[in-house]
Structure 1
Amino acid sequence: MLYALAFIGFGWAYQNNENVRLTANRIAYVAQADFQQLKSRVTGQKTTTTAKTKAQQQTTGDDDSVSGRWKKTTATVYVSYKNQTLQQAALDAIAKWNATGCFKFKQTSNKKNADIVMTTMDKDNDAAGLTQMSVDSLTGYFVHSTVYLNTAYLLNPSYGYTMERIVNTAEHELGHAIGLQHTNDISVMQPAGSLYTIQQRDIDAVNELYSSQANSSSSASSSIKTSTQNVAAN
C-alpha cells in the first residue's frame, strides 16, 4: 500500500513539478547510458548513449529535427578532447559564445552530470561536426546534448581546415546545442558551418529563442526525443 501511494505521489509530482521531471529525466538518461556502456563491455557490441526504447524516443535527422532549448540561458559543458587542437578550438568556441552574453556555457569536470559533452568521432560521413540533442517532449527543454567534432575531416590536412575554421565548426555545433537550427544567411549556423564565426543575427536568434515559450507537446505524458544535427565537411 505504501509503495502504491509513493508511486502515485511521484507520478503526480512528475506531471506537475517541472524540477522533479527534469531531475528524473536526467537520472534516467545517465542510468541508461551506464547500462549501455556495461552492456557493451559484456557483449562486445558497440552501443550509443542516446539509444532508448522505441516507446521513449524518436530519432530524427536534419530534415526532421526536434526543436527545443534549455530551461535557462546556461548549460554545463564537459570538454573531452585528447587532441590539443580540438581542445583549444572547443575552449575558444565556448569563450566566444560566452562573450556574446546571450548564453553561458559553464565548464565542469563531472562528465555524468554535464548538460553537454564535447567529444570526438572519426567517421567518413561528410560531417565535420555533429550534435545530438535529447529533449523532453512535455516541456520542450533539452535533457542532454553531445557535440562531436570529426577528426576524419578537421585534422586531415587534405581538407585544409585552419584553426579558425575548426573553431567556427565548434561554434556551429554549440549553436545546435543551444537550440539553433541551420540557416542560409551569413551566420555561424550555415550548413557549411566553418565559414563564419558568431554573427549578430545568431545572438538575436538565441535571444528570441529564449524569450519565447519552449515548444512543448500537447501529450499528457513525457517522452524523450533525440535529434541529430550536423555541419557539412567542406
Structure 2
Amino acid sequence: MSKWIFKLIKNIFYRLRPLILFILCGLAFIVLMQMQYAHLALTPRNFFDTANRCFQAAQHHEQPVDHYQPASIHRTVYFYVNTHGHDQSTLPYWHEAVQGWNKTNVVTLQPTNDIAAATITLVPQSISLSQNTVGLTNTQSSLTTQQINGRYQYRNHNISQCELDLKKMKTYGYTKQEIVNVAEHELGHALGLKHSQAVRSVMSADNRFFNIQQTDADHLADIFSKTTPNHPVNQSISCHIAGS
C-alpha cells in the first residue's frame, strides 16, 4: 500500500514538475527583489509593485535623453556654488545636472561668483539628510531692494538651496547617472517644478532611473510662460526620497 502511494506521489510530482519549478523560480525572484529593495531602504508593497519597479529598473539601462525640441521661451537663471570648503564631493554631479537642464533649450543656468545675484545655491558637500531623503531643495521668497536710476525699488527674490546626500546614495547603490538624475530633480524644484505623477519623469518623487524628459522641459517652459523672473513663491521644502 505504501509503495503504491509513494509511486502515485512520484507520478504526480513528475507530471507537475514544470509547474512546480516555475512557481519556485517565481518565488525566488520575488525574494531576491525584496532583498534588493530592502537594501535600498524601500520595500515593494506587493507583487505588482515589485514587477513595476523591476520594469523601471530595466529602463535604467536605456540611453538618457540628450536632444530636446526647440522651446518657445527661454530664461537665464544664475546659480552660486560655495567652493571654499574641503568637501566638494557633489560638485561633479551638480555640473552635469546643470548641463542637462541647459540642453533643454528652455533655460540657461549660468554660474556667478556673486551670491546676491544668484537665485540658486548649490551645496557642494554631501549633506546627511533624514530617513530615506537623498536630495533636498529649500525655496523661499525674500524682499530685497534694488537701485534703479538713482531710486531704490523693492522686488521679490526667490532663493533656492539644493543639497544632496551623496553618501546615502552610494550606500544604496546609485550609479553615477542616477546621482546626476537626482541632482537634475533638485534643480527642477529650484526652477519651479513640482513632483510629477508620471513614472518616466525626472521630477517623479522617488525617481532615480530617468534624466530630464521632453515632458519635463515642456512643463518648465509652461511655468516660465506664466511667470516673471523671481516671481514670488511661498516657502517650500522639496524632499527627494531614495528611489527603488
TM-score normalized by the length of structure 1: 0.58
CA distance in 2, matches of 1:193, 1:147: 17
Query: What's 1:182 paired with?
Result: 195
Higher Rg of the two aligned structures: 2
Deviation track 1:4-57 (CA, whole Å, cap 9, x = no partner) reads xxxxxxxxxxxxxxxxxxxxxxxxxxxxxxxxxxxxxxxxxxxxxxxxxxxxxx
Query: What's 1:165 paired with?
Result: 178
Corresponding letter in the other structure for 1:74: T
Query: What's 2:130 paired with?
Result: 124
Identity of aligned residues (%): 30
Contact 2:137-2:238 at 8 Å conserved across structures: yes
Contact 2:79-2:118 at 8 Å conserved across structures: yes
Query: What's 1:197 paired with?
Result: 211
Tell me the secondary structure at the aligned position of residue 90 of structure 2: helix
Structure 1 segment 2-151 matched on structure 2, within 5 A = 73-80=75-82, 82-83=86-87, 85-119=89-123, 120=125, 121-135=127-141, 143-151=158-166
Aligned residues: 154
Contact 1:136-1:225 at 8 Å conserved across structures: no
Bigger RCO (CA 8 Å, 6+ sep): 1
CA distance in 1, matches of 2:75, 2:82: 22
Corresponding letter in the other structure for 1:181: K
Corresponding letter in the other structure for 2:141: V
**In angstroms, what is the RMSD of aligned CA positions?**
2.9
Contact 1:116-1:177 at 8 Å conserved across structures: yes
Contact 1:124-1:152 at 8 Å conserved across structures: no
Deviation track 1:184-234 (CA, whole Å, cap 9, x = no partner) reads 2111000013221000000110111111246xx9xxxxx873100011113
Contact 2:140-2:236 at 8 Å conserved across structures: yes
Contact 1:128-1:233 at 8 Å conserved across structures: yes
TM-score normalized by the length of structure 2: 0.56
Tell me the secondary structure at the aligned position of residue 134 of structure 2: strand
Contact 1:133-1:227 at 8 Å conserved across structures: yes
Runs of 4+ residues over 3 Å off in structure 1: 80-85
Tell me the secondary structure at the aligned position of residue 94 of structure 2: helix
CA distance in 2, matches of 1:205, 1:142: 22
